Amino acid sequence: MLRRHPHCSAAVYVTGPDTCTVRVRRCGVFRVCASADADADPAAAASALYTWLARGGTVPAEGVVLRVRTAAGVHPFRVEADRPGYRAVAASQRSRSRAR
């Protein structure tokens, strides 16, 4: 999908009522799953993940829990890199390492 749309930074595929798969250009593929009590659209979690990565956040091999704030409250969701052992690195960090 991202190859066909060169100006698109992320693609999201909602896989269930509380899950989605997110592909972020230069950062990798992630599985996003809301906690059992969360009442937020998985697309909102994908947007929060993209913002997290764009601002320099990383997803370690063991995953990370992020939170989406909405009018209804705070909704935690878990993010894991799609490939075990794959450490996703924010695009800003990759561009810095290439410049060295």
| 1 CB-contact burial (10 Å; exposed 0-12 / middle 13-18 / buried 19+) | exposed
User: What residue spans define the domains of the chain?
Assistant: 10-94
Token pair belonging to 55: 């601002």
Whether residue 88 has pLDDT greater than 60 = no
Residue 66's pLDDT band (cuts 50, 70, 90)? very high
Higher-pLDDT residue of 36 and 69 is: 69
Alpha carbon 79 to its chain centroid, in Å, reads 6
- Rounded (5°) CA angle 80-55-52: 30
Q: What is the pLDDT of residue 83?
A: 65
Whether residue 85 has pLDDT greater than 50 = no
Q: What is the pLDDT of residue 12?
A: 87
